[in-house]
Structure 1
Amino acid sequence: MAAITQGLTASLDVEVADDDTAAALGSGSLPVLGTPRLLAWCEAATCAALADVLNDGETSVGTRVQVEHLAPSAVGRSLHVEASVLHVDGRLVRFTVAATDDGKLVGSGEITRVVVEADRFLSRLR
């Protein structure tokens, strides 16, 4: 495993589309950003942060999520999603994540991932 250090960051800029709404995702009835999509974007940012530091054959898997969805975002709004490594303990990597809409905090929390060898991990499936 490559060296993963505290403070390593990555960010994504995304736009809320009709398919990203709570109504479309089945997590509510309103045409605003759905929490499942917010979470997916936060996880994507954590993966992006690790992308350039993992060795060939390595990947990471999510093991714990704690995210608060704090404010609505309408279809067409642009969000900035950032993940930053907060803590590293061997293969375990804990991130802080935040999503903002024009500077307003839309969601934040922590996501924990564990670095694994992809083939070995998949061989454990039944």
Structure 2
Amino acid sequence: MHKLRPGVSQTLSLTVTPEYTAHAMGNTGVHVLGTPAIVLKMEDVSSRILASYLEPGETSVGTIVNIQHIGPAKTGDLVVFRSFVTSVERNRVQFHCTAEAENGQVLAHGTHERAVILTERVDP
């Protein structure tokens, strides 16, 4: 992995569609952004940060996710996911992540860790 320092950040926007709702993920009748979708997008935005720092033959895998889902986003709402690097220790990278509504209301926040590994470890 190329030199990565704390403070590097990235954002990713998502318009909530039916496939991202809790209802679609098995929580029948709950038509708001589901917690699994939040985790997915927090991992996605964090892995995008790492993508430009990886050496050939490297990839990253999620190892820890710890979030609090504290507010709803309905179908059609725009949600902005933000991630920034808080620490780098050898092949482990820690992130602070948020999901915010267009008006800035925090919908979820937490931490995520990714490990940089050799791609051959996860190739079929």
TM above 0.5, yes or no, is: yes
Return 5+ residue gaps in structure 1 as ranges. none
RMSD: 1.2
Equivalent-residue separation in structure 2 for 1:27 and 1:55 (angstroms): 40
Aligned to 1:41: 41
Is the Cα contact below 8 Å between 1:27 and 1:36 reproduced in 2?
Answer: no
2:121 matches 1:112: no
Equivalent-residue separation in structure 1 for 2:71 and 2:23 (angstroms): 16
Q: 2:117 is aligned with what amino acid?
A: V
- State how many pairs are aligned: 123
Aligned to 1:99: 99
The within-5 A match list for 1:1-126 is 1-27=1-27, 29-102=29-102, 103-119=104-120, 121-122=121-122
Equivalent-residue separation in structure 1 for 2:18 and 2:54 (angstroms): 34
Residue deviations 1:39-88, cap 9 Å, x none? 10000010111111111111111111101101000000001101100011
TM-score normalised by the chain length of structure 2: 0.94
Runs of 4+ in 1 over 3 A off after TM superposition: none
Q: 1:113 is aligned with what amino acid?
A: R
Report the secondary structure of 1:38's partner residue.
helix
